[in-house]
A = this chain, B = another copy of it.
Amino acid sequence: MTLTNAQYRLAARPVGLPTDSDWQYTEEPVAEAGDGEFRVQVDYLSLDPAMRTWMNAGRSYIAPVEIGAVMRAAGIGTVIDSRHPDFAVGQTVSGVFGVQRYAISNGSDVSVVDTGLAPAPVHLGALGISGITAYFGLLDVGKPLPGQTVVVSAAAGSVGSIVGQIARIKGCRVIGIAGGADKCKVLVDELGFDAAIDYKAEDVRARLRTHAPDGVDVFFDNVGGPVLEAVLARLARGARVVLSGAVSQYNTTQSPRGPANYMQLLVQRASMIGFVVFDYAARYPEAVTELAGWLRDGSLLARDHIVPGGIAQFPDALLKLFTGENTGKLILAL
């Protein structure tokens, strides 16, 4: 079966927000699966803020995407033919398939998805890397105790929305920071946060004084910048700041900005802890099992924001992450 692939490749390293000239759209025939390989038709692409950091050169927790290479992205797809003993035609699989219509895989880091547990897109969000990031980052790194105050930034995003719900499930007081009244309403009314702060319209420090009068015990930070500084100013003694992302800094064309008041960590005997979910790969099943249980019993809601229109929508869809258009997990349907 000869298939024609459609792909987005990295054409240039972006300065600021990625533009059309940073991408190269290509079409090419898909090779046949070799021995021990299988072919996947990608159905859904996960769009994540971290993808912006993979476009930069320089030392990070993962190698940069090379110029000319297919852009790296996680996805969910269907096995369309297979010469691999563990993967059968028709199975739904999850893996880092890249921004393309079809992928060839040898099965490395690919898992079969149980669509009986939840629809396919949920396996990119609440039961995928977003949910797993939220689970280990909050519970293993942040270590909140029942009754403690947990704050999460980008709280309406794919990771943040799960962080806040897990914290609520664990008996914490949860405050979400998000951009816009609509998102804040979702956090409180649908996801059960105790409070939400609209950083675009409200004074975050002042609102934290109201909502977290005894200080913030755990801050799960996805954004950096002024929001990080505002929360540092309100830490409780012994607080943990989980560094999961810094999306406010990913597209800046100025020098990146560090938290000017980082010495509040000393004042409050607090710590700031860098966290990469890949280190927990051996324990992913533990997270998925518990997250699936919460989904089943209704204590956890999976919010997806699915962009239709196929692969041609990729460049525009990705930007929604940085303009803050998505609520919940942003996914491109191919």
Nearest chain-B residue to A243 (Cβ)? Answer: B266
* Closest CB in chain B relative to A209 CB, distance in Å: 12
Nearest chain-B residue to A276 (Cβ)? Answer: B269
**Residues 215-229 of A at the B interface (beta carbon under 8 Å):** 224, 229
Cα-based distance from A210 to B249 in the complex (angstroms): 30
A267 proximal to B (CB < 8 A): yes
A246 proximal to B (CB < 8 A): yes
- Cβ-defined contact, B262 with A60, below 8 A: no
Cα-based distance from A245 to B261 in the complex (angstroms): 13
- Cβ-defined contact, A271 with B269, below 8 A: no
**Total residues of chain A contacting the partner, CB 8 A:** 33
Number of copies: 2
Q: Is the interface of A mostly helix, strand, loop or mixed?
A: loop
Cα-based distance from A272 to B269 in the complex (angstroms): 10
Which of these, B264, B267, B274, contacts A266 with CB under 8 Å? B274
A259 proximal to B (CB < 8 A): yes
Which of these, B266, B270, B274, contacts A268 with CB under 8 Å? B274
**Residues 234-265 of A at the B interface (beta carbon under 8 Å):** 243-246, 249, 255-265
A35 proximal to B (CB < 8 A): no
Residues of B within 8 A of A61 (CB): 266-269
Residues of B within 8 A of A109 (CB): none
Residues of B within 8 A of A246 (CB): 263, 266
Q: What 0/1 readout, one digit per residue, does chain A (266-295) give for beta carbons within 8 Å of chain B? A: 111111111110010000000000000000
Residues of B within 8 A of A263 (CB): 224, 243, 246, 249, 256, 274
